Amino acid sequence: MQALVIDDSRAVRLLVGNILREQGFDVVAAGHGQEGLERLQENPEIQLVLVDWNMPVMNGLEFIQAVRKVRAWDEVRLVMVTTETESEQVQRAINAGANEYVMKPFTAEVLVAKLSLLGAFED
């Protein structure tokens, strides 16, 4: 399965990408939400997106809202991975269409557990 990691931090993209690769994913990366939309268009086999909230150009919430407007991407699982920990922010992301929410900092075990809950390893 192919996954997309969107974060303006190169270090976070590498960290999350390595965790996903260890779980058998092919990983595509983007530095902001607009670039993430471009990667989704270029790679229709992407089934999982992990996206940061706070980024330039297009933030993670805007990215999720944009993805959920495209019927072809209805099955794409969206996970917000962010330092935004307030319950209102979590609810905003879920209401916008995020399937899961992971708060930074996190461990590989936490991320894998969230993806398991999401059914990301069943395909």
The reported pLDDT for the residue numbered 99 is 95
> Which residues, including other chains, have CB under 8 Å from residue 102's CB and lie 6 or more apart?
50, 79, 80, 81, 82, 110, 111, 114
Domains, the chain, in order of start with CATH, read: 2-117 (3.40.50.2300)
State the Cα–Cα distance between residues 21 and 117, nearest whole angstrom: 18
Say whether pTM exceeds 0.85: yes
Per residue in 42-62, pLDDT (tens digit) is 999 999 999 999 999 999 999
State yes or no: pLDDT of 1 exceeds 70: yes
Per residue in 65-116, pLDDT (tens digit) is 999 999 999 999 999 998 888 889 999 999 999 999 999 999 999 999 999 9
